[in-house]
Amino acid sequence: MDNISGILRYDEQAMMRLRSIYRQFGYEQYRMSRFEEYGLYSENKAFLASGDIITFTGAGGKLMALRPDVTLSIVKNTKDNTETRKLYYNENVYRPDGREFKEQMQVGLECIGNIDIYSMGEVIMLARRSLLTLGKRTCLDVSHMGFINGLLSSTELSPAQTSELLQRISEKNIPELTAICTKYSLSDTYRDRIIALSSIYGPYTGALSELQRLNINEETDAALRELEDIKSVLQGFGLAEDVNLDFSIVNDLSYYSGVIFQGYIEGVPTKVLSGGRYDKLLRKFGKRCGAVGFAVYLDLLERLAPPRQGTHVDVLLLYTDEADPQDVVNAVREITESGQSVRVTHKDDGTVKYKKLCKM
The predicted pLDDT at position 42 comes to 77
Domain boundary (304, 325, 346) is at 304
**Residue 322, domain member (yes or no):** yes
Give yes or no: residues 49 and 110 share one domain.
yes
Inside any domain, residue 216: yes
Which amino acid makes up residue 128? Answer: R
Please report whether residue 27 resides in a domain: yes
- Could you list the residue range(s) of the whole structural domain that residue 218 is in? 10-304
| CATH code of residue 191 | 3.30.930.10
Residue 52 has a CB neighbour count (10 Å cut-off) of 12
**Number of domains making up the chain:** 2
Average pLDDT score over the chain: 85
- In order of 176, 200, 249, the CA distances from 172 in angstroms are 9, 10, 10
Give the number of other Cβ atoms within 10 Å of residue 285's Cβ. Answer: 14
Enumerate residues 6+ apart whose C-beta is below 8 A from 7: none
Are 250 and 324 in the same domain?
no
Q: What is the pLDDT of residue 307?
A: 52
- Note whether 296 and 343 are same-domain residues: no
- Each residue of 233-262: pLDDT tens digit? 999 999 988 999 999 998 877 788 899 999
Same-domain status, 243 and 355: no
Asked if residue 322 and residue 264 are part of one domain, the reply reads: no
Q: Same domain, yes or no, for 300 and 323? A: no
Strands (E), 99-232: 100-113, 138-144, 201-203
Closest CA relative to residue 112, chosen from 146, 89, 83: 83
pLDDT tens profile 10-45: 667 788 899 999 999 999 998 877 777 877 877 777
- Count of residues in the chain: 360
- Residues 219-251 as b or e (16 or more Cβ within 10 Å = b): bbebbbebbeebbebbeeeebbebbbbbbbbbb
Residues 235, 317: one domain? no
- 311 — pLDDT class (breaks 50, 70, 90): low
Kindly write down the DSSP assignment for every residue of 267-281, as one continuous string. Answer: T-SS-SEEEEE-HHH
Q: Do 273 and 327 fall within a single domain?
A: no
Q: Considering the chain, what percentage of its residues have pLDDT values greater than 70?
A: 92
pLDDT band, very low/low/confident/very high, at 212 (cuts 50, 70, 90) = very high
